[in-house]
Amino acid sequence: MGLVSDSGRTGLFGPLFSRSAVGVSDTDWLQAMLDTEAALARAAERAGLAAPGSGAAVTAVASAERFDIDELGRAAVLAGNPVPPLVRALSEVLPAGQREAVHLGATSQDIIDTAVMLLARRAIGVIESDLAAAAGHAARLARENTATVLAGRTLLQQAVPVTFGLVAAGWLTSIDESRLDLRQARSRLAIQFGGAAGTLAALGNDGLAVAALLADELGLAEPVLPWHTDRLRVVQLAAALAGVCAALSKVARDVTLLAQTEVAEVSEGAGDPRQGGSSAMPHKRNPVVAILVLGCTRRVPGLLATLTAAAEQEHQRAAGAWHAEWETLSELLRLTGSAASWSATLLAGLRVDADRMRANLDASGGMPMAEHVTAELAPALGRLAAHDLVAAAAARAAQARTTLAAELLGDAEAAAALQAAGITEPQLGAAVDPAAYLGASAAFTQRALAAHDELGNEEGDDPGGR
């Protein structure tokens, strides 16, 4: 899988940050609003409130290509949103007898909020597909590298050894858990239909029936109440998308760190010899796919903050906060989709250098095994005394650029402690072998893989992809 986008996005930055098939363009927005109006017309006809054939007639003309988006946008400034001019334009292309089915009982927010739900559902389907692909590649990396040892790093310094299988399993678990959160958010997507102030008074006793039929037409949930100024549904959606980006940014950040020249433990697969190049430095092979993931995800916290702030809305209709959601949520869907698409590419082509991982670990002179040696000495010396003795040996080894084992064997006090503990030189050699101190790494990796396989078996049980 190469860097060239297959999503059809164009422009200077589109192929970079709008890579996936997530649709949140003006045309996508307009079509979602038209889909809502058409579904409402069909629901009204089913409820006996519109002339026979009205629903089909509205549906037949509810195509974004029939309308001038720029003109709708210019007219939107008169009402503060594009629905009033859209309703007028949609009505004008219908026969007089079928116009009454358009926008029946609805308010502008009903159409825009329901359109958002449709856009989100379609986007989540695309994002989930890319996340499933990314998770599949992470699972493969975990399986293939269960015994691949590398230095664990805490506070950016070598700590104790881990396996790359465990690292990949961590990526896998985070991605899979973000997929579950996204599924939950999708299950909460619901129509908005409350009329002028959330009472559906314009429809009299038929309001609840039309609402139920509208939900059925669109395949969305019917909420308990209209949610005009209850924006928890939007915040939950935004939080799930932000969680996806948090999971993907962790993967991308790890890759950029492990791909540094001095580390060089992983590298991105180059489908094009120009991939990762620099305009000034011919030798560069930058981890550009990981960088593009991060370019998307870094913008997400601010978008989530905006949507959270916009959740405080006045009375029965917000004055500005609702309006602040439209482009913000579009951007969030677009960037999450792009990050998921790039992450699938990143993990599909990631190259693991097991020899380099072991070399970097060995170059530390056994320091990452200090905890293990301390544990071996503790029964004889006590935990704190063993810690201090090993810490002193590690400090000498770092200063002299020798190994931990050499300093323990070469220092009289340390050698006596080893002897008192019954630790021979071969046993010390075994104690500083990274492969002998991996704890539950393999078991954790297998647990992650089992959970992933279980999630895959549940794929067909989720009805939210309608």
Assess whether pLDDT exceeds 70 at residue 186: yes
**How confident is the model over 183-189, as a mean pLDDT?**
97
384 and 295 housed in the same domain = no
Query: Up-side HSE of residue 120: CA atoms within 13 Å toward CB?
Result: 34
Q: Give me the pLDDT at residue 143, please.
A: 98
- Containing 149, the helix (H) or strand (E) segment is strand 149-154
The total number of structural domains that make up the chain: 2
Q: Which listed residue (153, 285, 317, 356) is catalytic? A: 317
Q: How confident is the model at residue 5 (pLDDT cuts 50, 70, 90)?
A: very low
Whole-angstrom distance, CA of residue 419 vs CA of residue 412: 10
Whole-angstrom distance, CA of residue 109 vs CA of residue 356: 57
Mean pLDDT of 409-431: 90
- Do 205 and 232 lie in one domain? The reply is yes
The mean pLDDT value of the chain amounts to 92
Is 317 part of the annotated catalytic residue set? yes
Residue 68 sits in the same domain as residue 161: yes
pLDDT of residue 428 exceeding 80, the answer is yes
Q: Per-residue pLDDT averaged across 454-466, rounded?
A: 60
d(CA 375, CA 379): 8
Q: Does 5 participate in catalysis according to the annotation?
A: no
Bridge partner residues of 153 (DSSP): 158
Indicate the residue type of 168. A
Residue 106: which CATH number?
1.20.200.10
- What's the mean pLDDT in 216-231? 98
Question: What's residue 277's pLDDT?
Answer: 53
* Confidence label for 464 from pLDDT (cuts 50, 70 and 90): very low
- Residues 88, 187, 278, 383: which is the catalytic one? 278
| Whether residues 165 and 192 fall in one domain | yes
Element at 172 (helix H, strand E): helix 164-187
Is residue 400 located within the same domain as residue 257?
Answer: no
Q: Is the predicted pLDDT of residue 153 greater than 50, yes or no? A: yes
- Looking at residue 465, its pLDDT comes to 40
Q: Is the pLDDT of residue 3 over 80?
A: no
3-class secondary structure for 78-147?
Answer: HHCCCHHHHHHHHHHCCCHHHHHHCCCCCCHHHHHHHHHHHHHHHHHHHHHHHHHHHHHHHHHHHHHCCC
Query: What's the whole-model pTM score?
Result: 0.92
Domain span including residue 168: 14-356
> Which residue has 């005009």 as its token pair?
228
Please determine, for residue 278, whether its predicted confidence score (pLDDT) is greater than 50.
no
Confidence of residue 269 (pLDDT cuts 50, 70, 90): confident
